Amino acid sequence: MSTPGTNRSTAAKPLPLVAATAVLPVVALSSLALAAPASATAPAVQRQGAISTAPDRTGQAAVVPAAEIAALVPARLAVPQQGGPARGESLQADPPATHTVRAGDTVTAIAAKYGLGVADVLALNGLTPSTIIRPGQVIRLLGAPPAPASPPSSSASAAMQPSQSTTYTIRPGDTLYGISARLSVPLGDLLAANSLSLTSVIYAGRTLKVPVPVGSAEPASSVTPASSEPVKPLVADSFMGYKYPTATVASANENKRLLNAAPVPSRAEMKQIITDTARRMGVDPALALAFAYQESGFSQRAVSPANAIGAMQLVPSSGQWASDLVGRTLNLLDPYDNATAGVAIIRALVRTSKDEDTAIAGYYQGQYSVAKHGLYDDTKQYVAAVKAHKATFS
């Protein structure tokens, strides 16, 4: 998909969209994701049961600190089995070295049985009052408490210290992934420092906070990557003999990587999304489906070297145009926004073109280019293919 005013694009077989764009705004990951690592989860709703307000007529009960409740919880919530310590059993003068926990045991009961202090038993076994013991667990009764853990190394301490931050001004063609890779800052840290998620869109000229660990010997930008092996790109930099700008290809690769890692609708589900969107927006569903089938075969994971994204194969500049048409920011990596953007542009082209053939050509070649140069040969093939698909879906 090319925006009005773009130059001629080269067609793929079977005529996918390829539009050259020198400088593109970045489109970051959609709400699909991932596993996205960076969105907040809504807290679970707590339902409070009925609470009796009747006064206690038996006198005030002793209050047990919450942190010590586990030490009073039996190893299994059941009546002690046969063979367990009987009530009133006499204390042993010489406790054994260990005690194997049985059903009904508690740390408090074990300590009392052998005449030991609860705190001593806890310390000897590296337990806390909140630790719950289980049947079969061996509790030490004699010996010295375990040695305290050695303090963390200076390098570990530095890693645990809070991060400082510097700033980075977003440039045309930048992506969140590209910035994190260039500055050797984990993408999750970069997102968290800026309250972003993988669905966020960034714009040239704005400033990002870049987290830098306290005590770092050198700036993040100077850190050498762990491996110098070249990474095979997911999207090639050229197609049909045309090589695309580095920034465009970098954005295409990031978007392809994010879509590969995210759950997306199946082709059948994407087809239904496009159908429903077209009906809602007053566009012939058969025409919208024809475009999507020709562009991507209904694949939301499709990304071209020109950074044409998703089932409707729209470059970011076209996504911005579609956002202006519908009055809200659209994320092309979101399947519903992708369908909305494509249908909005189809609707605008149909309304402003002299006939349907010209509207179809404008989606592929660009409306301005069609008006100025007429239809190129590959554009004519594209129009014929879309019309044939439309007849199939009608």
Query: What kind and span of H or E run contains 93?
Result: none
The Cβ-side half-sphere exposure at 105, using a 13 Å CA radius, reads: 22
What pLDDT does residue 358 have?
A: 96
Q: The pTM is what? A: 0.47
Instruction: List, by residue range, all CATH 3.10.350.10 domains of the chain.
Output: 66-140, 164-213
Asked whether the predicted pLDDT for residue 208 surpasses 50, the reply is: yes
Asked whether the predicted pLDDT for residue 252 surpasses 80, the reply is: yes
CB 307 within 8 A of CB 14: no
Average pLDDT across the chain, whole number: 73
pLDDT band of residue 95 (cuts 50, 70, 90) is confident
Say yes or no: domain 164-213 is CATH 3.40.50.300: no
Please state the length of the chain: 394
**Structural fold of domain 66-140:** Membrane-bound Lytic Murein Transglycosylase D; Chain A (3.10.350)
What pLDDT does residue 117 have?
A: 81
**Structural fold of domain 262-393:** Lysozyme (1.10.530)
What burial class does residue 325 get, using C-beta atoms within 10 Å of its C-beta: 0-12 exposed, 13-18 middle, 19+ buried? Answer: middle
What pLDDT does residue 171 have?
A: 84
CB 316 within 8 A of CB 251: yes
| Tokens at 378, concatenated | 């590959």
Quick one: average pLDDT of 170-193? 76
Q: Which range in 61-65, 169-173, 286-290 is most confidently predicted, on average pLDDT?
A: 286-290
- C-beta atoms surrounding 374 within 10 Å: 12
Q: Between 154 and 232, where is the model more confident?
A: 232
Quick one: average pLDDT of 317-327? 95
The dihedral through the CA atoms of 183, 185, 187, 190 has a sign that is negative
Q: Which range in 53-57, 145-149, 196-200, 309-313 is most confidently predicted, on average pLDDT?
A: 309-313
Quick one: average pLDDT of 208-218? 63
Asked whether the predicted pLDDT for residue 88 surpasses 70, the reply is: no
pLDDT band of residue 143 (cuts 50, 70, 90) is confident
pLDDT band of residue 87 (cuts 50, 70, 90) is very low
pLDDT band of residue 263 (cuts 50, 70, 90) is confident
CB 288 within 8 A of CB 277: yes
> Helix 356-365 and helix 335-352: axis angle, to 10°?
130
Instruction: List, by residue range, all CATH 1.10.530.10 domains of the chain.
Output: 262-393
What pLDDT does residue 352 have?
A: 96
What pLDDT does residue 120 have?
A: 84
The C-alpha atoms of residue 195 and residue 139 are separated, in whole angstroms, by 47
The C-alpha atoms of residue 249 and residue 252 are separated, in whole angstroms, by 5
Q: Which range in 11-20, 110-119, 194-203, 320-329 is most confidently predicted, on average pLDDT?
A: 320-329
